Structure 1
Amino acid sequence: MARSKLVALVRTLTLAASVGAPSLAAAADLLPPPPPPPYAPPIEVGGGWYLRGDVGASVYDRPKYSTSYDYNPYPDANRSYGNEVGGGGFAGAGVGYQFTPFLRADVTGEYRYSTGLRGSEYYKGYTDENGLGSYGINKSSGHFDSAVVLANAYFDLGTWYGITPFVGAGAGYAFNHVSGYGSNGQYTSASYAYDYGNPQYGGGCPCAPPTYNYAPVYDANGNVVYNNQANTKSYKDKTTGSFAWALHAGLAYNVTDAFKVELAYRYLNLGHASTGASFSTCCGEAGAGVKVKDIEAHDVKIGVRYMLGGLVAAPLPPLMNDYQPAPGPLVRKY
């Protein structure tokens, strides 16, 4: 009896093992599920490009003026000047690129205006055989403005507490415009009487000295009589192109990673400017214009920079993949 029970138990265990063995084999043949895909790293959009804008005020050094006579110069003629370019302001914009944390460059364009050109001129005319000389004084004024295009490079010296000092240099072209320029002058010379009975040499307009016999006119006290001749000149407007260059130094503050504010000083050399031809009411002839040389500005400006580049997160993977049926068991063939 005991033997028959033992045989029955062995048969039951053998049957159970034969039924469960295929399932265990199939489970062993299944591969583990793959790990989820990693998140994509952030991507950079726009690179190191940035936009900038600036406004500021300017003070100009005293420029050099040069003119030529609107008539035949006298042998001993000489001139001295006292001239200036009035202070003004400017505004501009540009686009640039940040190559490294220390090196960047941009191209800018700006419009500059001034309170005007002002000049004074003293010149000496001819001296006759009696030792009587002549001289003139002119006061002039006009408007000055300029459009400037510069290519600039900057070196950022490092950042501390969000503040970045920098230095730089630039070169480009200036379109200097002079308009509304004119002068009011007075020419003083001795009065003369001529041996053929003509009246006095009419007031000293310095177009040419007398070429015939003449003698000074004296008053009752024996003093030479001098006449004053007013002389007004107007000049045509003119735009002159000139090489320009600049030196920069300043501080930038990081308001955010993309937005920066600058406070800077700039030395700007605008080259030269010229008026057009002149017309004199004294001699009634067109003459040379006025050339203004070495126009140098000292600028204080406030600027902003906005970085177009930055890190942007990649799109997230879908929350649920498309449904696919579970793979069937792998069947191995031995």
Structure 2
Amino acid sequence: MASVKLLAVAGSAVLLTMNAAGAADLPLAPPPVPVVQEFSGWYLRGDIGFSNQQVKSLNNALYQVPPNQTVTTVHKDFDAAPFFGLGFGYQFNSWFRADVIGEYRGKANFHGYDNILLNGNYYNDTYTASKSEWLVMANAYIDLGTWWCVTPFVGAGIGASYNQISNFMDHGMHNVGGPNVGLAYAADAGKWNFAWALHAGLAYKVTPGFTIELAYRYLNLGDAASGDLITYTGVNSVYNPMEFNDITSHDLKVGMRWMLSAPEPVYQPPLMRKG
């Protein structure tokens, strides 16, 4: 009887050994499947923001009347103004994208103030206007890496800006103790200019298909000019629009990007091996 038990135990040991040997020939459990994110694709974008604009210099034909007149510009300031834009673009890979945008930049009120020395007498001259733009621009961006869904980026753009001056009014030269003289107004006028921009900002990926941006943009809009200045009496001895030379803007904006098809993960095939 004892020999039968020994045979049973020996048989069980042999079976366990054979099962272990067979298991060694089976494929191991596949390792975790790596996921490769697909970054490319078309997207739509929208932007809203506020401008902070400057003009380098002003010029008018009546400024150039030596030696009897000297004009010194004291103020040439724009108020902040809103803008909004729409566009579309393409994400080429994880670090490069490009887009084309169209933008309307709302009316920014302008306030100017000159000191004038004319025939030995001192005057001051104030004038007001509004300025708006239509902007079309192609932009390219480099994404600098992503941390906790936040991606810093830089970029540059080129395009064209239609700069319009409206409601220009020269409130006249005022001599202390005397009446205002030379009140004048100008018709609305606009012109196209080459424009360029530099960008920097942060993008936050809310979902795989939706991203929000907070960005700064330096924008050069070129030049602008009012219509011909005409006095209230209808007198116009010389063609003399007010010229706005080298208009720039420091813009702060919020942007939104929607992928037209959300990026889909691409799965690597599992690694199969024996032994």
Residue equivalent to 1:263: 214
Identity %: 38
Deviates more, 1:109-118 or 1:150-159: 109-118
Report the CA distance shift for 1:178/1:311 in structure 2 as closer, same or farther (over 3 A): closer
Say whether the 8 Å CA contact 1:230–1:282 is kept in structure 2.
Answer: no
136, 143, 155: which one aligns with 2:142: 155
Structure 2 counterparts to residues 113-192 of structure 1, below 5 A? 113-126=106-119, 133-186=120-173, 188=175
TM-score (structure 1 length as normaliser): 0.63
Segment drifting more, 253-262 vs 227-236: 227-236
1:91 aligned partner, one-letter code? F
Displacement of 1:137 after TM fit? 2.1
Alpha-carbon displacement from aligned partner over 1:223-249 (angstroms, at most 9, x marks no partner):
xxx864522100111011111111111
Given the alignment of the two structures, is residue 278 of structure 1 paired with residue 229 of structure 2, yes or no?
yes
Q: What corresponds to 2:67 in structure 1?
A: 75
User: For 1:7-156, what aligned pairs fall within 5 Å after superposition?
Assistant: 48-69=41-62, 73-81=65-73, 82-126=75-119, 133-156=120-143
**3-state secondary structure, aligned to 2:214:** strand
1:139-188 alpha-carbon deviations (Å, 9 max, x no partner): 10011111101100000011111111100000110001111101111355
User: Are residue 296 (structure 1) and residue 248 (structure 2) matched?
Assistant: yes
Q: Which runs of 4+ in 1 moved over 3 A?
A: 226-229, 309-313
Find the aligned partners of 1:139 and 1:311 in 2 and give their Cα distance. Answer: 56
Contact kept? 2:40, 2:92, Cα under 8 Å: no
CA distance in 2, matches of 1:46, 1:172: 27
Cα 1:109/1:122, change in 2 over 3 Å: same
Distance 1:283 1:186, change over 3 A: farther
Does the residue aligned with 2:145 lie in a helix, a strand or coil? Answer: coil
The reply to whether residue 243 of structure 1 matches residue 230 of structure 2 is no
Change (3 A) 1:90 1:229: closer
**Residue in 1 that maps onto 2:15:** none
In the TM superposition, what whole-angstrom CA distance separates every residue of 1:245-296 from its partner, at most 9, and x where no partner exists? 1111111111111111111111111111100101124782253110111211
**Count of residue pairs the alignment pairs up:** 226
Structure 2 residue aligned with 1:5: none
Q: In structure 1, how many angstroms separate the alpha carbons of the residues matched to 2:156 and 2:169? A: 36
Q: Is the 8 Å Cα contact of residues 39 and 263 (structure 2) preserved in structure 1?
A: no
Q: Rate the CA distance shift 1:288–1:311 in 2: closer, same or farther, 3 A.
A: closer
1:101-141 deviation per Cα after TM superposition (whole angstroms, max 9, x unaligned)? 10000000110113311111122223xxxxxx234321100
Q: C-alpha deviations, 1:184-227, integer Å up to 9, x for none?
A: 113559xxxxxxxxxxxxxxxxxxxxxxxxxxxxxxxxxxxx86
- The separation in 2 between residues aligned to 1:291 and 1:76, in whole angstroms, is 22
Q: Which has the larger radius of gyration?
A: 1
Q: Which runs of 5+ in 1 are unaligned?
A: 1-44, 127-132, 190-225, 314-334
Per-residue deviation, 1:65: 1.0
2:204 alignment partner in structure 1: 253
Residues 256/284 of structure 1: CA separation in 2 closer, same or farther (3 Å cut) = same
* Matched residue type, 1:112: R
Contact 1:123–1:135 under 8 Å retained in 2: yes
Secondary structure at 1:69's aligned position in 2?
A: helix
